[in-house]
Amino acid sequence: MADDDRLLIDRFLEMMAAERGASRNTLLAYRSDLDGARLIAGGLADASTAMLERLSPAWVTLSASTVARKVSALRAFYAFLEEEGLRADNPSAMLPRPITRRPLPKILSAADVDRLFGVIEARLAVDSPVPHDLRLSAFIELLYGSGLRATELVSLPRRALSGDRPFLILRGKGGQERLVPISDRARAAVAAWVSHIPPDSVWLFPSGKSHMSRIRLYQLVKALAGAAGIDPDRVSPHVLRHAFATHLLEGGADLRALQSMLGHADIGTTQIYTHVDSRRLVELVNSRHPLATMKAAR
């Protein structure tokens, strides 16, 4: 039966990739969640409601968001079995429905970002900057200047930025394509780094036979934070993506434009950034709304 479960999980994940465009990271998370549930429940394909009841006690120490993800994986898996005619019922209806709140993003101030770039500029202000510092400059310019996800950044093809084209086209989560503007600074930083890439590399940021890993990128960003006198726990590639979005919004960017640049399928995901902008919104109402210039009517 364990072999049957593995085969069905493989088929389910193939469907998720082909029909729903699930990313590699999503597929890995779903596989891990389903394999873990299979071991706890004693099987998945033929699991009864009673067998799935074993999961709740095993999840009691997990966060609500983690449990929600695991439940989502199981619900999707059993819906797939129903659609394929492999089960007549869906035992996942009894699984817990944890209430989760979208966490507010960690943010960096503009001064914090200036400190990060200050370290890089000091390292590059020598006669012959070392290649690793040129690469780090390209990383930070693209993370903060374009809001790329870590996976999108490290897996950029060598020719992703071509000529004077001020944008690149990315395929992000769910296989959705989006246009990402690239600043002159970022293009200059990438151009300085490109000459140090091995001629036979197909990646913009190669490492061995593939591209650099996300883990290594995280390490480099945290090391830079430490060098800038910022707590490394406050800084990550994703935090720089948040800073990109937050600072654009503070500068007057349209929420829909920001949604497009970030690659969010749901604008509700983008709206989380408005929490940092409430003071500015009040100021806008007080200074620019027509009522602000009208005398109070008697």
Give catalytic status of residue 144 as yes or no: no
Mention every residue, 6+ apart, whose C-beta is less than 8 A from residue 234. Answer: 106, 108, 112, 225
User: Closest Cα to residue 32, out of 83, 97, 77?
Assistant: 77
Catalytic residue among 54, 123, 173, 185: 173
List the alpha helices (DSSP H) in the chain.
Answer: 2-20, 24-41, 49-52, 55-58, 64-83, 110-124, 131-146, 150-154, 184-194, 214-227, 237-250, 255-262, 267-270, 278-288
Give catalytic status of residue 149 as yes or no: yes
Give catalytic status of residue 78 as yes or no: no
- Tell me the three state secondary structure of residue 170: strand
Task: Taking each helix axis as running N to C, give the angle between helix 131-146 and helix 110-124, from 0 to 180 degrees, rounded to the nearest 10.
Answer: 160
Query: Side chain identity at 142, as an amino acid letter?
Result: L
Give catalytic status of residue 132 as yes or no: no
Give catalytic status of residue 238 as yes or no: yes
Catalytic residue among 211, 241, 242, 247: 241
Catalytic residue among 69, 135, 149, 222: 149
Give catalytic status of residue 241 as yes or no: yes
Just list the catalytic residues. Answer: 149, 173, 238, 241, 264, 273
